[in-house]
């Protein structure tokens, strides 16, 4: 039986989900929601989706709708997740779950009461590169001693990944740090017990810090150093160095290398080499199997509790 899905947020990242869902059997996108109707209709036409709207409530009212994927601006995530759960729909919200802790806590509480699958798009848990490392750790073949992570973009103006003007402002702490904070605790298999952050000057028009440094320590002694920048004129993206007791590994999205730059074949780790597709497959599998997904809103809440604490430090 097919799962009928609505996608809210028809921008650059939303279309990555649409590309991924094309590869997943028995899942059909029946509605797409965007900010501007003409652009949303263009995306709907491109992907053969029958319904396009600028109103999420209109999509939620479709009787045969089962689930929603939210790839909307950060500031809408928690509110729209609550709206989907209130409508009785399963929901996957893109990272970050929230940018205010109490909103994330409200989502976790509502998800628990609803009995619906509520998942957050912490893609690093699903990239084959990080899955390979996670399995090695779980099997006892590796223990993390240190993670060194660089998250670098060039965003001195408010543009998205397609080079188009954004209607909202991205955030190093609440969005990009969330990937690494969650992944560090997940890979160390130990809660984070110490955290410290410093940030550079606030951008005069964007109103955000453009550079940030974060240090973390897990209860088991593993440490993590995270450098983030929107000022980087060079290779962009996030690059992870795992320093372990039995090896060093470099993860670049779905690819993995040894510390000596020898590529590791991770093609057999999962059914795809696309982290977004694997994330979406987990969401739909959890719906079909009636279980909690990996990266459920409850599982990732400790990440946002830590981000909140770091925000208090920076303030």
Q: How confident is the model over 85-140, as pLDDT tens digits?
A: 999 999 999 999 999 999 999 999 999 999 999 999 999 999 999 999 999 999 99
Fold (topology level) of 127-269: Dihydrodipicolinate Reductase; domain 2 (3.30.360)
157 or 118: which leads in pLDDT = 118
**Mind spelling out the 3-state secondary structure of the chain?**
CCEEEEEECCCHHHHHHHHHHCCCCCEEEEEEECCCHHHHHHHHHHHCCCEEECCHHHHHCCCCCCEEEECCCHHHHHHHHHHHHHCCCEEEEECCCCCCHHHHHHHHHHHHHHCCCEEEECHHHCCHHHHHHHHHHHCCCCCEEEEEEEEECECCCCECCCCCECCCCCCHHHHHHHHHHHHHHHHHCCCEEEEEEEECCECCCCCCECEEEEEEEECCCCEEEEEEECECCCCCEEEEEEEECCCEEEEECCEEEECCCCEECCCCCCCCCCHHHHHHHHHHHHHHHCCCCCCEHHHHHHHHHHHHHHHHHHC
CA–CA separation, 278 and 265 (whole Å): 17
Q: What is the pLDDT of residue 160?
A: 60
* Span(s) in the chain for CATH 3.40.50.720: 3-122+276-295
216-250 tens-digit pLDDT: 999 999 999 999 999 999 999 999 999 999 999 99
What pLDDT, on a 0 to 100 scale, did the predictor assign at position 158? Answer: 66
pLDDT at 223: 98
Q: What is the pLDDT of residues 289-313, one digit of tens each?
A: 999 999 999 999 999 999 999 999 9
Contact between 180 and 149 under an 8 Å Cβ cutoff? The reply is yes
Q: Is the pLDDT of residue 165 over 90?
A: no
pLDDT > 70? residue 282:
yes
The pLDDT tens digits for 46-60 are 999 999 999 999 999
pLDDT of residue 115: 96
Confidence of residue 267 (pLDDT cuts 50, 70, 90): very high
Residue 43 has pLDDT above 80, yes or no: yes
Largest pairwise CA distance in the chain: 54
The residue-averaged pLDDT of 153-174 equals 75
What is the predicted pLDDT for the residue at 1? 84
Q: Which residues contact 197 (CB under 8 A, 6 or more apart)?
A: 173, 212, 213, 214, 215, 310, 313, 314
Backbone angles phi and psi of 160, in degrees to 5: -95, -175
Q: Where in the chain is the domain with CATH 3.30.360.10?
A: 127-269
Structure tokens at 272: 């795809």
Q: Residue 169: which pLDDT band, with cuts at 50, 70 and 90?
A: confident
The answer to which of 154-158, 233-237, 257-261, 270-274 has the lowest mean pLDDT is 154-158
- What pLDDT shows up at residue 170? 83
Predicted local distance difference test score (pLDDT) of residue 157:
73
Segment 201-229 shows an average pLDDT of 96
Question: Could you tell me which residues are beta bridge partners of residue 215?
Answer: 196, 225
CATH class of 3-122+276-295: alpha beta
Is pLDDT above 70 for 168?
no
| pLDDT score, position 156 | 79
**pLDDT at residue 163, rounded to an integer:** 66
- Tell me the whole-structure pTM to 2 decimals: 0.95
Average of per-residue pLDDT across 137-166 = 85
Work out the mean pLDDT of the chain and round it to a whole number: 96
């Amino acid at each position: 039986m097919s799962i009928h899905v609505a996608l809210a947020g028809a921008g650059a990242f939303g279309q990555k989900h649409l590309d991924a869902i094309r590869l997943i059997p028995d899942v059909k996108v029946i509605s797409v929601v965007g900010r501007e109707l003409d652009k949303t209709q263009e995306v709907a036409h491109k992907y053969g989706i029958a319904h396009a709207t600028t109103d999420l409530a209109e999509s939620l009212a479709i009787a045969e709708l089962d689930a929603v994927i939210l790839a909307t601006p950060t500031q809408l995530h928690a509110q729209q997740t609550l709206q989907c759960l209130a409508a009785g729909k399963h929901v996957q919200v893109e990272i970050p779950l929230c940018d205010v802790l109490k909103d994330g806590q409200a989502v976790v509480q509502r998800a628990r009461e609803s009995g619906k699958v509520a998942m957050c798009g912490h893609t690093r848990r699903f990239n084959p590169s990080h899955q390979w490392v996670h399995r090695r750790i779980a099997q006892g073949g590796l223990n993390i001693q240190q993670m060194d992570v660089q998250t670098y973009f060039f965003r001195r103006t408010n543009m998205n990944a397609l080079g188009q003007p954004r209607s909202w402002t991205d955030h190093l702490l609440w969005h990009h740090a969330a990937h690494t904070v969650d992944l560090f605790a997940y890979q160390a298999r130990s809660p984070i017990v110490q955290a410290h952050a410093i940030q550079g000057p606030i951008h005069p028009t964007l109103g955000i810090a453009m550079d940030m440094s974060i240090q973390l320590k897990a209860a088991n002694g593993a440490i993590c150093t995270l450098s983030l920048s929107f000022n980087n004129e060079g290779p962009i993206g996030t690059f992870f160095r795992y320093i372990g007791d039995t090896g060093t590994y470099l993860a670049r999205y779905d690819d993995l290398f040894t510390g000596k730059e020898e590529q590791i074949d991770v093609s057999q780790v999962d059914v795809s080499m696309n982290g977004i597709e694997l994330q979406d497959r987990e969401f739909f599998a959890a719906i079909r199997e009636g279980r909690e997904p990996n990266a459920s809103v409850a599982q990732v809440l400790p990440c946002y509790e830590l981000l909140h604490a770091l925000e208090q430090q920076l303030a």
